[in-house]
Amino acid sequence: MPLIIRNLSKQYPNGVRALDDVSLDIPKGLYGLLGPNGAGKSTLMRILATLQTADSGSVQFNGLELSGNEQELKKKLGYLPQEFGLYPHLSAEDFLLHFIRLSGFTSKKQALEMADKLFELTNLTEVRQSKLKTFSGGMKQRFGIALALIGDPKLIILDEPVSGLDPAERTSFLNLLNQIGRQSTVLLSTHIVDDVAGNCPQMAIIHHGQIAYEGETQKAIEQLKGKLWTGPEESQAIEISHTVISKKLSEGQSHLRVQSHERPEGFDPVEPTLEDAYFFWLSEVATNKTEG
């Protein structure tokens, strides 16, 4: 069930080019879309969820073209936006059953069976009678997943779903997404590197509306092996002559992490992380835009 995106572009009336010739091949499983705020992630998510149209390009899921088949594709996808509204005084069960019926499950028995399945999957069975206003942030996000999974969609689009969750809630939520990814294509859009590391075998990095990297998550890290160095920030010469990936404060002193084929004087080798790869590819896009 691959999601194929080709040459997708979108420019808003104010002149902001949110997407610039974006092409991606997204396989079945949990796939990470990593990028800073304003990179174009949400625009891409809304286009894939049929809530916006692109200026140019194409989208195809499991052989079905998005353009001209929006209603058919909606039957195959679930979407959890970055922010979604709930009626706080309704119980989780009443709210979920309402949307299940709106999705075409007119039989009371079928609707209840679907609700049972979704509450069990999201580990909310024990609180299904509770009012939504009593839910924690993690419970609300899991309930959002229950809403997105109505009808067993094969494409699930999640826009910044773990923002604001504490570490325990984030871990629980990501475990749920890994479970769902065994049967579906799950696109996880986030600006948090740790959400992708260890969870998404494949990923893309987007910046200024352009794809900076696409491929295996581990390979993004391996490309920096033997080329990453760390040392104290002593002069501007290093920043001028090398690609500085990041600056970190340690014991009151600023240290640089530098990408270079040769070891800079006074620097030590360091094992790269996904965060290093992320900052490296962001800098590549920024450099190309400046040179362009």
Domains defined for the chain, CATH in brackets: 3-217 (3.40.50.300), 221-291 (no CATH)
H runs (alpha helix) in the chain: 41-48, 70-74, 92-102, 108-121, 137-148, 167-180, 193-196, 217-222, 236-241, 274-291
Whether residue 144 has pLDDT greater than 60: yes
Tell me the β-bridge partners of 210: 207
CA atoms within 13 A on the CB side of 171: 2
Write down the pTM of the prediction. Answer: 0.88
> Is 11 buried (19+), middle (13-18) or exposed (0-12) by CB count in 10 A?
middle
| pLDDT in the model for residue 244 | 85
Whether residue 87 has pLDDT greater than 70: yes
In this predicted model, what pLDDT tens digit does every residue of 148-180 receive, in sequence order? 999 889 999 999 888 778 888 888 888 888 988
Torsion, Cα 122 78 84 4, to 10 degrees, reads 130
Of the candidates 155, 198, 212, 177, which has an alpha carbon nearest to the alpha carbon of residue 26? 155
| pLDDT in the model for residue 292 | 52
| pLDDT in the model for residue 287 | 62
> Is 88 buried (19+), middle (13-18) or exposed (0-12) by CB count in 10 A?
exposed
Mean pLDDT of the chain: 89
Residue 260's Cα: distance from chain center in Å?
29
In this predicted model, what pLDDT tens digit does every residue of 273-292 receive, in sequence order? 999 999 999 988 756 655 55
Helix axes 92-102, 108-121, angle to 10 degrees: 120
Tell me the β-bridge partners of 250: 253
In this predicted model, what pLDDT tens digit does every residue of 35-68 receive, in sequence order? 998 899 999 999 999 999 999 999 999 888 988 8
